């Protein structure tokens, strides 16, 4: 039966592929449902340019309260860009011509000794207009 009617499984595959991609973004990357849905929706048209030698595992090791030196030691490299008086360390940007991308940003805040510390980690799928 399978050899003769293999084409009957085509609709199942058309549904299964987006479900697998959505599951990957939810489980492996750790996206919230909305971000996972957007990442699945823009799967073939998104483009992300990461900082040199960026490693997602190193980004996952970062925690709130770490100082700037610990961030450098963990990440191994400096961010692509720094904004807002050195409080936004950007590790990913959209590729030219692309607006949807995987956003990786570290929000820093200076403590009483003027040492930059991690306040928040931004790990989301950036969609234009949201």
Domains of the chain: 1-44 (no CATH), 46-130 (3.30.1450)
pLDDT digit string, tens, across residues 58-116: 999 999 999 999 999 999 888 888 887 778 999 999 999 988 999 999 999 999 998 99
pLDDT digit string, tens, across residues 24-67: 999 988 899 999 999 999 998 899 999 988 999 999 999 999 99
Neighbours of 96 (CB within 10 A): 7
In the Cβ-directed half-sphere of 16, how many Cα atoms lie within 13 Å? 5
In the Cβ-directed half-sphere of 2, how many Cα atoms lie within 13 Å? 0
> What was the pLDDT predicted at 99?
86
> What was the pLDDT predicted at 76?
86
């Amino acid at each position: 039966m399978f050899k003769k009617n293999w084409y009957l499984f085509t609709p199942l595959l058309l549904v299964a592929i987006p479900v697998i991609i959505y599951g990957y973004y939810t489980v492996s990357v750790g996206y919230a449902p909305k971000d996972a849905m957007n990442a699945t929706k823009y799967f073939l048209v998104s483009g992300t340019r990461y900082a040199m030698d960026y490693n997602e595992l190193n980004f996952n090791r970062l925690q709130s309260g770490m100082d700037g030196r610990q961030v450098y030691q963990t990440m191994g490299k400096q961010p692509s860009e720094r904004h807002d008086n050195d409080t936004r360390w950007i590790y990913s940007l959209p590729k030219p011509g692309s607006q949807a991308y995987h956003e990786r940003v570290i929000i820093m805040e200076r403590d009483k000794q003027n040492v930059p510390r991690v306040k928040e980690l931004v790990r989301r799928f950036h969609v234009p207009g949201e």
